[in-house]
Copies of this chain bind each other. A is one copy, B any other.
Amino acid sequence: MRRRGLDVTLFATGDSRFEGELVSVVPVGLNEDPALDPNVFSALHIGELFRRAGDFDLINNHFDWKPLTYALASKMPPLLTTVHGFSSPQILAAYYASAERSFFCSISDADRDPGLDYLATTYNGIDPSEFTFSSAAGEYLCFLGRFHPEKGTHLAIEIAKRAGVRLKIAAIPQDESYFREYVAPHVDGDRIEFLGAVEREARNELLGNALALVHMTTRPERFGLTTIEAMACGTPVLGARMGSLPEIVVDGVTGFLCDSVEEAVSKVPLLASLERKACRARVEREFTVERMIDRYLGAYQRAVDLQVPPPPSAERLRARRHDWWDRPMAFTEIPPKPKNLRFS
């Protein structure tokens, strides 16, 4: 943003690396110092931003729902909230309550709540120069991510076994019992190999030399950063047709979108015939940091032009009333319904 000529003030921890103006309430991340009460210091962090709100032409909030409740109270420039994911249905209450004060961006078209209006989709972006393009199709499938049923490591294993292709798994632990029950028993160091977590060069090598990245999630993904990293290396994606994946992967060109394990198995023999250059080109066109900035600049300009979000349509309001509580969401358990909550 600064490179593009914007005057940016960043509100973040004191150890952030930023060459523009940095405003910090706490010196380090709240999870790095047990004496810092996260509720108190995140509230002070937000309070400090809104205290200075009048200094800015626009505020881009990447800090979820809490700042929205402050926006209810403040006179301020346009607020644009990037929704990086709804962590629970309850937080929708904060989004709905503040929808007249904040514009919203989603990180994929799929990850939108029907009760909210969105100004734009601002896909995440990567720097393609950090990923080495590899022109030759590899001979193994790979899985990259964390161990959780939603990420479908077990499906990747099943697909590899049934297709008779080796699988390399690089992942960080999350759900330990899932790993013990559904992953570990299959790891033999040959057909199914587990590499632990991989970063930078090792990640580049794992992705670049693969036949495909398997991304058979069991719940909709908000955005799949690993899929654009794989494609940047020229590696296609064999993935579930849900969530944001149809926006990222061009079916039959940069990978295959599948509705079942059977379908995925049947696509494995076709993977080597995909143009690896097309994968790289897709990322360079749509999912770079520069494209992300383009999208944000467009959204910022619209927010500044409008100043205030337009009132929601009757359809939006209906969507808020009827089904939000029961709507399935990625990465969360649905809590019990509130007993008698009313929303205006």
Contact = CB atoms under 8 A, between A and B. Distances in A.
Contacts of A97: 44, 47-48
Interface in A86-106: 88, 90-91, 93-94, 97-98
A63 interface: no
A72 B91 contact: no
A53 B73 contact: yes
Contact of A90 (B37, B48, B66, B98): B37
A66 B44 CA distance: 9
Interface string A110-132: 00000000000000000000000
Contact of A72 (B28, B50, B335, B336): B50
A56 interface: no
B93 A35 contact: no
Contact of A40 (B70, B75, B91): B91
Interface in A33-89: 33-37, 39-41, 43-44, 46-51, 53, 65-66, 68-75, 88
A341 B336 CA distance: 39
Contact of A88 (B37, B73, B75, B90): B37
Most interface-central of A32, A34, A37 (chain B CB within 10 A):
A37
Interface residues of A, number: 46
Question: What is the total number of copies of this protein in its complex?
Answer: 2
A90 B35 contact: yes
Interface of A: 26-28, 32-37, 39-41, 43-44, 46-51, 53, 65-66, 68-75, 88, 90-91, 93-94, 97-98, 335-342
21 contacts: A28-B339, A28-B340, A32-B339, A33-B338, A33-B341, A35-B90, A35-B336, A35-B338, A35-B339, A37-B88, A37-B90, A37-B91, A37-B335, A40-B90, A40-B93, A43-B65, A44-B69, A47-B70, A50-B70, A50-B74, A75-B75
